[in-house]
Structure 1
């Protein structure tokens, strides 16, 4: 073989190889498809978050003082004695005895009720803290509903961040996370 024929053959093989590589790359690239999906629309997805918290306030409370004589014995006895003395002042003979007993009974009842009423009115004021749980609600963005177009077909996907104008595509799949 002469030198120019050899050069031509090598040059021809080189061009054929380069053409094949270029054609193969174009073929592979065409098979992979687009490298980005076009974002058509983005809508915020919102959810309501509830947060409980304690709210406390001071309130005035009226309390009854504890009774020293719970059964009003002192009032009953004092009333009976006074009623008996007053009943003894009325009438004479058996009527006097009957008036004394009736006066003692009525005085005992009146004394009991008087002491009961006095004890019920014996109160004091104090301040107490009262707490309750209230729930605050607020809306937060929990994601984004994204409508996209990839190789002529539309689809929808939920993303945790706003994608911008395009979504990256690797091996025909959307890349949704950071990477």
Structure 2
């Protein structure tokens, strides 16, 4: 055998290996599944808290503004009445003492009566009272999808509700919504 013939056989053998490997790879690509069967779909929800202001109108009572803070009117009227009553008791110096004592007691009593009347004098008004409450709601955040690929089941989360199948690319399930740009 000559050298050129040996080179030809060697070159032909290498070419056969390269062509065969390419054919096997091409076959594997063609034989790889293009979709995975969807077995189950479960909605995934999250609880969302949203602050809201709640207001109500409430009747509120407050003490009315006092015009005579020192209760002079009650003290004077009570003093006069007490003095008049005291002056009807006794005679002489006793009468003077009873008048002074009656005026002092009447002044104190008049002051206290006016105080009680002022405390009971209230003004009613309507006030708007507000508070912030947390409103709970459920929000759909995605889907847990159970799928079958190559005889095995697995779960993936998607942001969209899939149909009967999920696309497969390079042997992996694509979980991006249809029409989204390829993230890889």
TM-score when normalising by structure 2:
0.75
Give the Å deviation of 1:118. Answer: 2.2
Secondary structure at the counterpart of residue 102 of structure 1:
helix
Give the Å deviation of 1:114. Answer: 1.4
Secondary structure at the counterpart of residue 69 of structure 2:
coil
Secondary structure at the counterpart of residue 75 of structure 1:
helix
- Correspondence 1:26 to 2:24: no
Q: Show the counterpart of 1:159.
A: 158
- Correspondence 1:44 to 2:19: no
Aligned residues: 160
Q: Show the counterpart of 1:135.
A: 134
TM-score when normalising by structure 1:
0.77
Give the Å deviation of 1:41. Answer: 0.9
Give the Å deviation of 1:89. Answer: 1.7
Cα distance in 2 for residues equivalent to 1:111 and 1:145: 82
Give the Å deviation of 1:58. Answer: 2.6
Provide structure 1 residue ranges, at least 5 long, that are not aligned to the other structure: 1-15
Give the Å deviation of 1:22. Answer: 6.1
Cα distance in 2 for residues equivalent to 1:118 and 1:133: 39
1:7-156, aligned counterparts within 5 Å? 24-30=25-31, 33-156=32-155
Secondary structure at the counterpart of residue 157 of structure 1:
strand
Secondary structure at the counterpart of residue 83 of structure 1:
helix
Q: RMSD in angstroms over aligned alpha carbons? A: 2.3
- CA 1:173–1:126: 2 relative to 1, 3 Å: same
Cα distance in 2 for residues equivalent to 1:104 and 1:80: 4
Give the Å deviation of 1:102. Answer: 2.3
Q: Deviations over 1:36-80 (max 9, x none)?
A: 111111111122222222222333333322101112122123212
Q: Show the counterpart of 2:9.
A: none
Greater Cα offset, 148-157 or 77-86: 77-86
Cα distance in 2 for residues equivalent to 1:171 and 1:177: 15
- CA 1:135–1:42: 2 relative to 1, 3 Å: same
